[in-house]
Amino acid sequence: MKIPLVLSRTSGLVLCLSLANIGWGDEMTADHTPRPDANIYIQISGDEGTRFAAEWVITSADGVVNRFEHEGSIPVTYAYMGEAISGTVTQLSEGGRLLVEIRNNGNRSLSSTQGKGSVLKTTVN
């Protein structure tokens, strides 16, 4: 079953560029607990209201690659199913600071940037 990804907690454009072959969906269940089937979590925080654009590439266990683009303001959290994630986050606001935390199967990446046009690139296997 293929389900499109829609995950943003804040307003903003969420564009699904492809469909996943595994269980994609909101990062929270109806009772606001994290989905038990998601294993990749992305939290973008920092100075509230700071705008960003993000591109994510998620690789599943069977090698299927899915690409997603998001644009919005912080704070926001995304959740995915997959084996590996790589991505780019670009700050769109003049001021403010972005803090990007990615967790994947016990591995963790934490990066921050400040200033319009600043770019973070990360990969977590």
pLDDT tens digit at each of 125 positions of the chain? 333 343 433 333 333 333 332 334 444 444 445 556 788 999 999 999 999 999 999 999 899 999 999 999 999 999 998 999 999 999 999 989 999 999 998 899 999 999 999 999 999 98
* Structural domain that includes position 20: 12-124
Domain count, the chain: 1
User: How far is the CA of 123 from the CAs of 2, 71, 86, 90, 101, in angstroms?
Assistant: 25, 19, 4, 15, 11
Domain contains 5: no
Looking at the whole model, is its pTM more than 0.75?
Answer: no
Domain contains 3: no
Domain contains 47: yes
